[in-house]
Amino acid sequence: MRLWGRAMITFEEFETQWLEEVRAGRPSTTQLGNRFAQKILRDWHEIDEATAEVILCDGAGDGGIDAAVFVKADPAEGIEGATWILIQSKYGTALSGPNTITLEAQKLFATLEGRRASLSSVSTELVERLKTFLSNKGIGDKLEYVVATSRKLTEEELEYLRNVRILGRDKFGECFDTDAVSIETIFNKVCEEQQVVGPQISVTLTTSVTASTKDLHIGATTLPDVFKFMNEYKNKSGDLDMLYEKNVRKFLGGKRKVNKGIENTIETTPERFGLYNNGITIVAEHLSRDSVGTLTLTNPYIVNGCQTTRSIWSVLQRKLNAGGSAPTERQKEWEERLKQGVVVTKIVLVGPGGDELLTETTRYTNSQNAVGEKDFIALEADFRAWAPAFNKEFGVFLEIQRGAWEARRAYQKQNPLAVPQYTESANAFDLLKAYAAGWLVEPGIAFGKNPPFAPGGSLFNKIVNEAGFGTDSLFAAYQLQLLAGRYGFGRGATKPSRGQTRYLFMMVAVGLVKDSLIQLGKNSEKVDLVKAVQALARADLLGHFGNVAVGVIDDYLISGGDDTIYLEPEYRKTNDLNAFLKSEKLGKTDEFSPNLRTQISLAKKDFRRGDYLDDVNKVLAAAVCSSVSH
């Protein structure tokens, strides 16, 4: 049972709500598997078209792979190598025990080794790419096999999955890894984010405490003991990321970003680790200590040292969890030196209701790095303040973390008389992207990248620190998002021109609104555009701008036409549509996309001749103040 508001929400209720869109419309068994895999990826890894290529291959001839995700190397974002994530989706009762894990893994291995015939065309193409990847893999490249289920795997099933990892590394090298994710994993994350009653996770940490007070213990922990602590936490919680839920910096890197310098120290001179590293800080609700110095921590969180511990995990997972009963002399010698490597460890006892102490600890232990005070406040204060205000003012549920909307709907179903009863939701992260595309003219970055919009990211900081930005700005971005939804933009679009151009459409639509304000002699700053979009949406006139903007997109993406994307000078250098649409230069200059600029210019002139112009101008005149001429 979990508390939500003043009522109890069970995992079963959350699961039913979470699966609603998966089950909608009487899908086939294959469609159920595909939808389940897609939603798991969206809510767990937060994978979308901006971050990765998603390939669905569930069905006859899938070769043991229901979905595959390809994340390219991007050193600028700290992603040193390429990653393939292979999803085995076990919706509902499809997982019938540990033997299922073994059988499915055998199918996968046979496929990757070229021992399975009769693969589908999609799977055949995918397998060829995977074979090429394995032939050319480097140190930073990863191949991860993930089992996705409704419930967390049992300890026996996890043991079978660990055996799969050992066999996979024997066949494909250290790049191979395994993981498990479930709806229950996501539920626990949502419970933690909403600060409701969740599972009491107790984990042991063997460390030598050298100084202590009532609330603070300081000591040194060996690298193997840090790894054991993380392993135990992952096994008990089902999700290692929950260990960093209180860390403001956790959003800056992504699941696989680690520090190569730290990794290199562990691999080459682990005994010197403590000399080169500042240490880690762990907070916990309760703490007990036995006679031999082992601490038991209840609900621990690493609030400083995210990259340090991630790097320890990355290296030791490869080198200690690889199997093999006859280690080489070199391995034995490295393991002995590893035991000499220590991490300075601060453990802070915050108590079950110690939010203030936890917040202060997190803030000050992170102050030495590039995350400023404002970044932390923006994450912990602004959005948490904006969410209830947004909900109350606009009657739309602002979702700060994926999964919270499912939990809210489950609560509403259980409590039909509770108020308010929301029927719409908006995801805060998505709204930041919409705002950047429309108001900051950043459609390429909005389509192509996620890190700039996460707390601490360049565009996140620029937006939330902007004078006047708040709930009105978020709601205007929501109206723009709804407008794009009317035309079917995004994955699965029926018109090819709209599959990758959602954010470009948003840029054009807001640009038309801005031009209308300029023509009226009105202020056209960002706050004015917010007022204008809101007023037009209330008057049901925003669709006129959408109709013209979608015409620009469809004409720009049509093959064989004039002033199209395919005739842009920059596009013709590579003929890579995806890369062109993700460029940060898109829509900004005549040098990069002159044809787009021409299309938009013509559209503005056409808009001024529309028979709806009088109605539009009346609404804008009432909503926005006139410019002051100098």
Say yes or no: 9 and 87 in one domain: yes
pLDDT at res. 91: 79
Bridge partners of 211, per DSSP, are: 218
Q: Are residues 69 and 43 in the same domain?
A: yes
Which of 98-102, 187-191, 574-578, 604-608 is the least confident region?
Answer: 187-191
Which pLDDT belongs to residue 79?
60
Q: Residue 485 belongs to what H/E stretch?
A: helix 471-486
295: domain range?
A: 200-318+341-365
Q: Is the pLDDT of residue 160 over 50?
A: yes
Bridge-based pairing of strands 397-399 and 425-427 is parallel
Given this model, what pLDDT does residue 364 score? 44
* Residues 457, 538 within the same domain: yes
* Amino acid identity at 36: F
Greatest mean pLDDT among 89-93, 130-134, 260-264, 305-309 lies in 130-134
Question: Which among 362, 379, 368 is positioned nearest to 460, based on CA atoms?
Answer: 379
Neighbours of 509 (CB within 10 A): 25
**pLDDT tens readout for residues 15-38:** 899 999 889 888 888 888 888 888
Confidence band, pLDDT 50/70/90 cuts, at residue 518: very high
Helix (H, G, I), strand (E, B) or coil at 337: helix
32 and 181, same domain (yes or no): yes
Q: How far apart are CA 565 and CA 317, in angstroms?
A: 46
Tokens 């209701």 identify what position?
Answer: 353
**pLDDT value at 157 more than 50:** yes
Residue 398 has phi, psi (to 5 degrees) of -85, 115
Per DSSP, the three-state class of 427 is: strand
pLDDT of amino acid 78: 55
Q: Can you tell me the distance from the alpha carbon of 586 to that of 448, in angstroms, rounded to the nearest whole number?
A: 11
Q: Please report the pLDDT score of residue 25 as a whole number.
A: 87
Examine residue 399 and state whether it is found in any structural domain, yes or no.
Answer: yes
- Three-state secondary-structure class, residue 303: strand
Mean pLDDT value across residues 172-196: 79
pLDDT over 70 percentage in the chain: 86
Predicted confidence (pLDDT) at residue 569 exceeds the cutoff of 80: yes
The CA radius of gyration of the chain, in Å to the nearest whole number, is 26
Per-residue three-class SS string for 524-558: CCHHHHHHHHHHHHHCCCHHHHHHHHHHHHHHHCC
Give pTM, 2 decimals.
0.71
What average pLDDT score do residues 474-498 get? 92
Residue 326 counted as domain residue:
no
Q: Which of 81, 80, 100 lies closest to 91, judged by CA?
A: 100
In a domain, 332, yes or no: no
629 three-class SS: coil
502 and 406 fall within a common domain? yes
Taking alpha carbons only, the member of 97, 123, 94 closest to residue 110 is 123
Q: Is the pLDDT of residue 272 over 70?
A: yes
Greater model confidence, 585 or 352 = 585
Q: Are residues 377 and 358 in the same domain?
A: no
β partners of residue 204: 296
Report cis status (omega within 30 of 0) of the bond before 420: yes
75 and 121: one domain? Answer: yes
Q: With helix as H, strand as E and coil as C, how does 285-299 read?
A: CEEEECCCCEEEEEC
pLDDT in tens, 284-297: 888 888 777 789 99
Question: Lowest mean pLDDT: which of 24-33, 144-153, 562-571, 586-595?
Answer: 24-33
- CA nearest neighbour of 62 among 30, 32, 29: 30
First to last CA, the chain: 64
* pLDDT attached to residue 370: 34
The H or E element that residue 336 is part of is helix 329-340
Residues 415 and 553 in one domain: yes
Longest dimension (CA), the chain: 84
Q: Would you say residue 373 has pLDDT above 50?
A: no
> CA-CA distances (angstroms) from residue 347 to 220, 313, 363?
11, 19, 15
At position 45, the amino acid (one-letter code) is: H
- Measured CA angle at 493 (ends 473, 406), to 5 deg: 55
User: What DSSP element (H or E) covers 446?
Assistant: helix 443-448
**pLDDT for the residue numbered 289:** 83
Rounded Cα distance between 116 and 110, Å, is 6
pLDDT > 60? residue 82: yes
93 in the same domain as 42: yes
Last residue of a domain, one of 332, 365, 398: 365
State which of 136, 158, 186 marks the end of a domain.
186
Strand spans (E) along 395-479? 397-399, 425-427
Section 541-557 average pLDDT: 96
Q: Across residues 485-501, what is the average pLDDT?
A: 88
Which pLDDT score is estimated for 365?
47
In a domain, 267, yes or no: yes
Tens of pLDDT, residues 351-368: 654 455 555 555 444 443
Number of compact structural domains in the chain: 3
Asked if 494 and 398 sit in the same domain, the reply is yes
Mean pLDDT of the chain: 84
Give yes or no: residues 313 and 400 share one domain.
no
What is the Cα–Cα distance from 514 to 535, expressed in whole angstroms? Answer: 13
**What is the model's pLDDT at position 212?**
75
DSSP assignment string, 41-87: IIIII---TTT-EEEE--STT-TT-SEEEEE--BGGGTB-S-EEEEE
Going by C-alpha positions, the residue among 25, 28, 57, 21 that lies closest to residue 42 is 21
Task: Give me the half-sphere count of Cα atoms (radius 13 Å) on the Cβ side of residue 489.
Answer: 23
Which residue, among 255, 229, 259, 14, has the nearest Cα to 146 in the 3D structure? Answer: 255
Q: Distance (Å, rounded) from C-alpha 363 to C-alpha 377?
A: 9
Look at residue 324 and tell me if it is in a domain: no
Q: In the prediction, which pLDDT does 216 show? A: 85
Burial label, 384 (beta-carbon count in 10 A; 0-12, 13-18, 19+): exposed
**Any domain includes 422:** yes
Decide if pLDDT at 255 tops 80.
no
Are residues 349 and 286 in contact, defined by beta-carbon separation less than 8 angstroms? yes
Residue 278 shares a structural domain with residue 425: no
pLDDT exceeds cutoff 90 at 478: yes
Confidence of residue 40 (pLDDT cuts 50, 70, 90): confident
Of the listed ranges 134-148, 249-263, 506-520, the least confidently predicted one is: 249-263
The SS3 of residue 40 is helix
Query: Is the predicted pLDDT of residue 617 greater than 50, yes or no?
Result: yes
For residue range 189-221, list pLDDT tens digits in order: 777 655 544 557 899 999 988 777 777 888 899
Give φ, ψ of 344 to 5 degrees: -65, 125
Cα dist from 212 to 208, 257, 359, whole Å: 11, 33, 21
Q: How far is it, in rounded angstroms, from Cα 513 to Cα 587? A: 16
Residue 192 lies in a domain: no
Q: Is residue 99 part of a domain?
A: yes
State the CB neighbour count (10 A cutoff) for residue 368.
9
